Amino acid sequence: MFKLLTKNKGNTSRKKWRWFGFFFVGLSLPIVYVVWKVSFLIFLITGFQPSEMARAQYTPKDVIGDLGGMKVIIPRHYAEYVEYDGDPRFGEKRKGPRPERTFDSRLRSFGMDVRFPDMKGLENAQIREEMRRQPLKENSWLRISIIGGEDYPGEGFLDRSTDSELFNTDAPEYNGHWSHTYARMSDTEYGLEAWYLSGIDPRTGKPARESSDTSDIYLYRDAYGKIDVYITCSRPSVPEGIGTCNVHSVLGEKAAFVLKISFRRGLLPEWQNILQSARELLLSFKVKQADKEMLSPSQFTSSPSR
């Protein structure tokens, strides 16, 4: 009898815990749903970026500063994710008050979306919607990124990048891997040296230059043989996908910063016009000495909002 009562008591206890478990799960599901819903709404507002990064995307006023030695005023619709030397980096918090920006404040980086060939920026809601709706295969928008200030890699960085990617195949990180073994084509393409992967892709048994998830490299040299333009163009990883080209160059003797331009691969034949248009756009931001003396820094953004 005692065993039976003990057994029944054990069964009752297990039932209580089972019902408690069901209740806990039932209570958790709505909470999880609410958290997911809030997270999804945050994603819709800010995208993949953290909230502090989203706040820094747009500037409330035009931006002033020193861009590689060139004093500039950048219209607000041409300046996103603006960073100056000394600004906190990704995931960091600012220490101390935000400094007032002047024409001597060195710009470290910023980016902008520009429509080719008229080089218009995202100046209103209509043009933003146009960019969002344009089919990928017809996309004429460029993503221009600037790296300067304390992050400028120094003169000759394009030659160093080329040596590392194309010629230093004995280095441990490459070790003769098929995806890093390039050969120069005998003919130029669009006025560029063309470098394609050589050999066979061991995954497919087909020529490596036809493989997805790989890149072709194009170079343009100046009169002294130095690399003036370094371009990588990816091959799409899915059928009917869109490859992307990334142009790396500098403004020349005008200013010391890296100019990177990204666009769909179908625009590669236009690389010279694209690069020239981007350079002219950046030069248009330059401020004349007489105009600079008449302007007050308070008219412009003091710093990114983060």
pLDDT in tens, 228-237: 999 999 988 7
- Joined together, the tokens standing for residue 284 give 């248009």
Confidence at residue 13, expressed as pLDDT on a 0 to 100 scale: 52
**Residue 140 CB contacts under 8 Å (≥ 6 apart), including other chains:** 115, 116, 117, 134, 267
- Joined together, the tokens standing for residue 34 give 């609410």
Q: Establish if 5 belongs to a structural domain.
A: no
**Residue 99 CB contacts under 8 Å (≥ 6 apart), including other chains:** 86, 105, 302, 303
Comparing CA positions, the residue from 220, 213, 222 lying closest to residue 268 is 220
Residue 76, pLDDT > 90, answer yes
Q: Establish if 263 belongs to a structural domain.
A: yes
Confidence at residue 92, expressed as pLDDT on a 0 to 100 scale: 86
Distance CA 66, CA 279 (A): 16
pLDDT band (50, 70, 90) for residue 293: low
For the chain, the domain total comes to: 1
CA distances from 165 to 2, 90, 174, 238 (A): 81, 27, 9, 25
Rg (CA), the chain: 27
- Joined together, the tokens standing for residue 61 give 């006023």
Q: Establish if 191 belongs to a structural domain.
A: yes
pLDDT band (50, 70, 90) for residue 117: very high
C-beta separation of 98 from 258 below 8 A = no
What is the percent of the chain where pLDDT is above 90? 50
Distance CA 284, CA 297 (A): 19
Distance CA 141, CA 285 (A): 20
Distance CA 231, CA 168 (A): 18
C-beta separation of 263 from 142 below 8 A = yes
Residue with the bigger pLDDT between 155 and 261: it is: 261
Q: Establish if 11 belongs to a structural domain.
A: no
Residue 167, pLDDT > 80, answer no
- Joined together, the tokens standing for residue 154 give 């120094």
Q: Establish if 140 belongs to a structural domain.
A: yes
Q: Establish if 34 belongs to a structural domain.
A: no
Q: Establish if 38 belongs to a structural domain.
A: no
Go through the chain and tell me how many residues it has: 306
pLDDT in tens, 242-258: 899 999 998 866 789 99
Comparing CA positions, the residue from 65, 61, 58, 59 lying closest to residue 287 is 65
Range of 5-14, 35-44, 264-273 with top mean pLDDT: 264-273
Burial class (CB in 10 A: 0-12, 13-18, 19+), 9: exposed
Number of alpha carbons in the 13 Å side-chain half-sphere of residue 207: 7
Confidence at residue 85, expressed as pLDDT on a 0 to 100 scale: 95
DSSP label at 225?
Answer: S
Distance CA 93, CA 96 (A): 10
Confidence at residue 279, expressed as pLDDT on a 0 to 100 scale: 95
Domain residues for the domain of 83 are 49-306
Interval 122-126 mean pLDDT: 93
Residue 120 φ then ψ, to 5°: -75, 145
pTM of the model: 0.76
C-beta separation of 106 from 148 below 8 A = yes
Sign of CA dihedral 155, 228, 168, 208: positive
Q: Establish if 113 belongs to a structural domain.
A: yes
C-beta separation of 250 from 153 below 8 A = no
